[in-house]
Amino acid sequence: MAWDPLYDKVKHHLETIYADVSLDVSYDTLTEQLLAAIGIASSEDIASPQSHHNYWDEEDIIMITYGDSVIRDNEKPLVTLNNFLHQYCKNTINNVHILPFFPYSSDDGFSVIDYSTVNESLGSWDDIEAIAKDYGLMTDLVINHCSARSVWFDNFIKSEGPGSDFFFTADPQDDLSMVTRPRVSPLLRETETAEGTKYVWCTFSHDQVDFDFRNPKVLLAFVDIIKLYIDKGTKLFRLDAVAFLWKIVGSNSINLFQTHEVVRLLRTLIEHVDPSIIIITETNIPNRENLTYFGNANEAHAIYNFSLPPLLVNTLVTGDCTYLKSWMMSMPPAQNGTAYFNFIASHDGIGLRPAEGLLDDEEISELVHTMQNFGGKISWRASEHGKQKPYEINITLFDALQGTTKGPDRFQVDRFICAHSIMLGMEGIPGLYIHSLLGTSNDYEKVANTGQNRSINRRRWNIDELETLLDSPFSQHHKVLTRVSQLIRIRKAQPAFHPNATQFTLQLGNEIFGYWRQSLDRKQSIFCVNNICDEEKTILLSDINLIGTDNWIDLVTRDEICLSSGFIQLKPYQTLWISNQDFE
């Protein structure tokens, strides 16, 4: 099949990736090995992806959860999760990101011991496939590193067998001063092997040992893993920490062109197996660098919109949308075939690196101080000249929005719902962390037990206790789930909320954050207007330019908009979705 266009394309990717690497295998052989690994043995196996085609629409919502975020005695957590989804999410959620569900040694799953099996404490592949039958399954491809307790790393130590040459090493005397780090631990791990002392590169922790993708055997191993996950029902791949994949001593070893080319190669292989499978890159880096992972609609289908969480939280605790508005105006529309993946809470904290260049140091400092006053923890990273800078804020989103810079107040739930209203209306595919859907508060007991700041937002709910709370109309959990679910149902019915529908930022002052969406067929318009402060505000209808010949309705309240009144009064943190059509 050497004459097939796919063959030539894969070979070209390889020639670009390994241009500066001496290989002991030919590009033709490696191309054939990769195509075989992904399951393409002949031209008949090749699917035909459409360029710039959107494999998503306004109905797509992704829930992010651990496999054991909800548990029941004497029941596998994945079974409990599936039951929870069917009971509470069947009319709202259609995709589920189950965070790493493999055997692991640390970092709550992101230090993978074995990529090919399901953690027995969670369930089995049968349980994963059962969820994948009813929901689009999003699976982590932890591609930058694995556990120091893996068989691969054991073989590295023994200097024999698969994995013996899979890991990146450097010399302590090398100039590593430019390396970008998300942690303050030493970069190199001293390791005694059968071939003597080696120093293994560890971007995140000494239990997370980094792969050496200069060795094509590593690439082949991951294509085998990708094929397995596809066979088990995966429809979305999250490429974890992919920005750090390629290392070059003497460089910053982040976002290197070889990394981008590896993503392009994986995209090429995957989309020729199943064009509907989506790749999402997880690159917790400054905004400008993050955008490069779209490529020319030939890398990631979607990128995490990492700047949104810190900017939105900052907006709602200061009552000033200046920075959020400036950022939104600067964001290029995602071209067809690509989309932003919007989220405002996740299993990690509120990243601050993506706010660099968007919030100044004083704003970041005030935000950090406010979150600490709300019970949040701060994780740090090493920066230039060995200084430490805040890397992320560890706090549940519900508690992050319990008040303003002035302190806690009575608007916690309304402020929290406002945050989700803003996200759900924006251009892009929404992702909701399970603990935001449930209105979960900070888990200080888990932090004390684990010693890890991130545990504050990783509560493990007993499903019987949770169901009691969700059934109580007076609990924060019931209020949050009910109101967020209502917003999701409204969103899913509106063509103007398609992830690629037109978006335009409105100029309504610093205390009203607004934007306009228009459906791809230009028939539906929605004006999303949000009071982001703790006082009532008035907006003039002339400021949002509602066309007088149309009938307008607020999709949230179902109230008709009376154009003759000339204005609308907004309660603190109220959201209006003003539309000329209602499809719910």
Identify whether 528 is part of a domain: yes
| Confidence class for position 386, pLDDT limits 50, 70, 90 | low
Whether residue 347 is annotated as binding a ligand: the answer is yes
Whether residue 238 is annotated as binding a ligand: the answer is yes
Those residues with Cβ within 8 angstroms of residue 33's Cβ, 6 or more apart along the chain or in another chain: 25, 220
Q: What is the CATH number of the domain that holds 547?
A: 2.60.40.1180
Q: Pick from 401, 395, 424: which is nearest to 413 by CA?
A: 401
Question: Which segments of 18-66 does DSSP mark as H helices, in order?
Answer: 27-38
Alpha-carbon dihedral of residues 544, 547, 553, 556, nearest 10 degrees?
Answer: -30
% residues pLDDT > 70 (the chain): 99
On whether the CB atoms of residues 481 and 398 are closer than 8 A, the answer is no
Identify whether 324 is part of a domain: no
Nearest-angstrom CA–CA distance, 8 and 1? 10
Question: Which segments of 198-256 does DSSP mark as H helices, in order?
Answer: 216-231
Whether residue 224 is annotated as binding a ligand: the answer is no
Q: Pick from 89, 7, 1, 84: which is nearest to 484 by CA?
A: 89
Identify whether 508 is part of a domain: yes
End-to-end C-alpha distance for the chain, whole angstroms? 50
Whether residue 13 is annotated as binding a ligand: the answer is no
Span 469-474, average pLDDT = 96
Identify whether 541 is part of a domain: yes
Identify whether 270 is part of a domain: no
pLDDT at 580 over 60: yes
578 beta partners: 527, 554
pLDDT at 280 over 90: yes
Those residues with Cβ within 8 angstroms of residue 386's Cβ, 6 or more apart along the chain or in another chain: none
> Any catalytic annotation for residue 240?
yes
List pLDDT tens digits, range 434-448: 999 999 999 999 999
Identify whether 513 is part of a domain: yes
Q: What is the pLDDT of residue 385?
A: 65
Q: What angle do CA 350, 64, 213 make, to 5 degrees?
A: 80
Q: Which of 177-181, 220-224, 276-280, 388-392 has the lowest mean pLDDT?
A: 388-392
Whether residue 72 is annotated as binding a ligand: the answer is no
**Residue linked to tokens 């670009």:** 16
Containing structural domain, residue 572? 502-579
Identify whether 507 is part of a domain: yes
Residue in 240, 320, 399, 534 annotated catalytic? 240
On whether the CB atoms of residues 386 and 185 are closer than 8 A, the answer is no
How many domains does the structure of the chain reveal?
A: 1
Whether residue 6 is annotated as binding a ligand: the answer is no
Q: What is the pLDDT of residue 237?
A: 98
SS3 sequence of 57-68: CCCCCEEEECCC
pLDDT at 254 over 60: yes
pLDDT at 3 over 70: no
Identify whether 516 is part of a domain: yes
| Confidence class for position 50, pLDDT limits 50, 70, 90 | very high
Nearest-angstrom CA–CA distance, 537 and 572? 7
Whether residue 489 is annotated as binding a ligand: the answer is no
Q: What is the pLDDT of residue 424?
A: 98
